A and B are shown apart, each in its own frame.
Chain A
């Protein structure tokens, strides 16, 4: 039987390992990392790509080598060697993958807990809680001192995760914010509970731990921001949660990741990650626009009526426009809503 010499095998092994490590770190397959959680996920993915590349090269290499080296020679109609098995080899190739797989499982578990996973990320209707650290005064959480531009050490930020949620009085390094997220056919609505602002885009300040409480009005949807590496289903009749810490300013797509009807592909929004100052400014402008304290409030858009006099369609109009959506479509949705409620 033709077995490569030990040296050749060793060299091939080194080459495969090197290629795998290189590609695992340089695959360029992921979008930019824009949250504190993203590097954790990418670290896991990079390791799995390294292992996967190595496996791929070994298996494909063996197949191609066999196809060439062990091809039947013309005229040779005899059988191959009678080899039925090799117990030590089989033990080896059972235990090594088992160890690798267990290692990936443990690493995944660690990443998951670092991302806050073991704190309940979902709540059934029965237990429903709000993070007690959310400030009640409008804008107070965002105004927490962040005098320097956020240069977050992701590890530093995440270290506090396990202490923060649900435990009153625990000191936190990062400010917190809860935003209620509603998914409906075919739009996203974000409600900032402290200020009552409702918007069609998700504005978040970088360096703040954002808790989303996600709900759906009609059918299943899912909230996904690829640059954050985070996704959570929106389930009608239940509230689910998603927590992340944006650490890179910019605009990133919010994508619906659960089939919700024919316009599922058009159900998009954006998350606008801003500096705290910009965020506060935006929030203020929204508060003014949606205030229903008195009818003389200044409207942002010259054509918009005061909020008190607006129908939901009119109120939503400035936002849905950004989503490439017309009010007529919103009307169609209304009738579909009625249909769903009845069924």
Chain B
């Protein structure tokens, strides 16, 4: 009895060894990024819920005396950010065709668009007539857009890091481009969050 179970089990081990080959693991990093972004989404959802609750229970919203928000600059910024999502996707298509130059071009344009967005945001901050502590709307406006802006900055850093890495020949190819995909997924996430933010803060009021 004992030896037969032994033979059985060791035979199974052998089969496993030859079947898999030693130490080959599939790459789960993209799945990991997506799972992590669920957590990121929840932090924004929590902040959005707080904003909506403040808005719902306040007697007037925005509170008395809040200046109107100008829509032109943020609107243009929105178009730039949404556009950059399409641009970055081109980079993904490029690298899947092993076109590193294409990757670099499109990532470069995305980085520029992201930087313009951030500069635009800072410009808006400096020209707003209310400060962080002026009233509840002002506070939520700055915290929400600021928190999002930090995420855009982080995404920009990721994009630049990928660009830097792409300079090393052979680092990215059509079979190995985790960094490209990760940066792209993150960038799309940041874009979607902005769309919701824009609707809540600028359009919905």
Interface residues in B49-73 by Cβ distance below 8 A to A read 57, 59
Q: How far is the CA of A126 from the CA of B55 in the complex (A)?
A: 13
Residue A125 CB within 8 A of the other chain: yes
Chain B residue with Cβ nearest A238: B57
A86 to B187 Cα, complex, angstroms: 51
**Chain A residue at minimum C-beta to C-beta distance from B59:** A126
CB-based nearest B residue for A124: B57
CA distance A141 to B59 in the complex (A): 34
Q: What is the CA–CA distance of A125 and B59 in the complex, to the nearest angstrom?
A: 8
Q: What residue in chain B is nearest A126 (Cβ atoms)? A: B59
Complex: A240 Cα to B188 Cα, angstroms: 45
Q: How far does the Cβ of A239 sit from chain B's closest Cβ, in whole Å?
A: 14
Q: Which residues of A contact B59 (CB under 8 A)?
A: 125-126
Chain B residues with CB below 8 A from A124, complex form: 57
Interface size on A, residues (CB 8 A): 3
Could you tell me the distance between the alpha carbons of A87 and B200 in the complex, rounded to whole angstroms?
51
Nearest chain-A residue to B57 (Cβ)? Answer: A124
Flag A125-137 by CB within 8 Å of B: 1 or 0 each. Answer: 1100000000000
Contact flags A106-128 to B (C-beta < 8 A → 1, else 0): 00000000000000000011100
Interface hits, A290-305 → B, CB 8 Å: none
How far apart are the CA atoms of A124 and B54 in the complex, in Å? 12
A151-191 interface bits toward B, Cβ cutoff 8 Å, 1 = contact, 0 = none: 00000000000000000000000000000000000000000
Q: List chain B residues, Cβ under 8 A from A126.
A: 57, 59
What is the CA–CA distance of A125 and B60 in the complex, to the nearest angstrom? 12
Question: A237 → chain B, closest Cβ, in Å?
Answer: 11
B 1-57 contacts with A by CB, 8 A:
57
The CA of A126 and the CA of B59, in the complex, are separated in Å by 6
Chain B minimum-CB-distance residue to A125: B59
CB distance from A127 to the nearest CB of B (A): 10
Measured in the bound complex, the distance between the Cα atoms of B61 and A126 in whole Å is 13
- Residues in B with CB closer than 8 Å to A125 are 57, 59
Q: Among residues 68 to 100 in chain B, which have CB atoms less than 8 Å away from a CB atom of chain A?
A: none
Closest 5 CB pairs of A and B: A124-B57, A126-B59, A125-B59, A126-B57, A125-B57
A-B contact pairs, 5 of them (CB 8 A): A124-B57, A125-B57, A125-B59, A126-B57, A126-B59
